Amino acid sequence: MSDIDALEKELLAQIGAAESQSELEQVRVDALGKKGRVSALMKTLGGMSAEERKVQGPLLNGLKDRVNEAVHTRKAALEEEELNRRLVTERIDVTLPVLAQQTGRIHPISQTIDELCAIFADLGFSVAEGPDIETDEMNFSALNIPPEHPARQMHDTFYLEAKEDGSRDVLRTHTSPVQIRTMLTEEPPHRVIAPGRVYRCDSDQTHTPMFHQVEGLVIDRETHMGHLKWVLEEFCKAFFELDSISMRFRPSHFPFTEPSMEVDIRCRRDGGQIVLGEGDDWLEILGCGMVHPKVLQYVGLDPDVFQGFAFGVGIDRMAMLKYGIPDLRAFFAADLRWLKHYGFPSLDIPSLAGGLSR
Ligand code: DAH
């Protein structure tokens, strides 16, 4: 074997054995660098006779090319190995399941609102919204509560500062203004619920200055009280997860409905506990009625053509009843221990098919 062949064999072996890019670089410099062994041989070409150079030239160039190529091939292989190693060692498994005890909890009010929406969606209702800061007009006048009306006092309204025209916005005292907003912006028939926050200047054991209501509104050409009763009954059965429920419609008064009713459900008071669906006691849960002709006229609907019903339910109270939560104020105290106890798993989204509460 010639010296050139022996050198090639040796260099290719070194290249193949290089375990890292820096090792390979060292081998390359030792062979092809300025002072490398291949470069040194190339320099000897200058001192050769023309004849000799003709023979040695191609041999040395061949050697240089093959060594060069081997270095490149090995370099690519090492780079790939390196990448694969990093992919394995630096992998972050984002699919790792979250441990149940580390998840946050869903507040009972949020859970209850999700349940209400699921139930009413099934009955064909969509969700409507309105602002928390309302005009006096929407919160009162449009709902047939003129300025001198005694109902205004009952609402313990939070007023904002007077505007230039002298009117004062309010923190909405109920979700009923969403009825008006819906009827003003959309064409009938209407079938909406509007869950949300409401505010009244009142605070004791059973009242908080902010609480939650869900408003319901149905307007069509032939909507009557039978529909109202059926919807409320279906809602209560679904919400309290009972096969049958007994309800009582008591005459009442709201300026925006005529006739107006308050609805009680049958219950039994057992010590401090309330058991629904049985017993001789009654528990008031909501107000409702047929939308007042004046309200329809306000939004430009002809009461001889369109009619319908509305209802308003206190969400916090419904949540307390369903989940046996005794104290209203605890809802808004932001106590993590309370939330851990009464809250719901964040990944269980209420649905009629999958179960409302578990
Ligand atoms: N807005 C009433 C309140 O907060 C509740 C209410 C009663 C709403 C009767 C209605 C209704 O839509 O028909 O006291």
217 neighbors 179 (Cβ within 8 angstroms): yes
Q: What is the DSSP letter of 137?
A: H
273 or 186, which is more confident?
Answer: 186
Report the alpha-carbon distance of residue 288 to residue 214 in Å, rounded: 12
Q: What is the pTM of this model?
A: 0.72
State whether the Cα torsion 163-167-168-173 is positive or negative: negative
Q: Determine the atom of ligand 1 nearest the C-alpha atom of 217.
A: 12
Q: What is the pLDDT of residue 234?
A: 96
308-340 pLDDT, tens digit each: 999 999 999 999 999 989 889 999 999 999 999
Which tokens sit at 323?
A: 């989940």
Cα of 62 from ligand 1 centre, angstroms = 96
CA-based radius of gyration for the chain: 40
Q: What is the pLDDT of residue 101?
A: 62
Sequence-distant (6+) residues with CB within 8 A of 203 are 209
Cα of 289 from ligand 1 centre, angstroms = 8
128-176 pLDDT, tens digit each: 999 999 999 999 999 999 988 887 877 789 999 999 999 899 999 999 9
Considering only CA atoms, which residue is closest to atom 6 of ligand 1?
Answer: 312
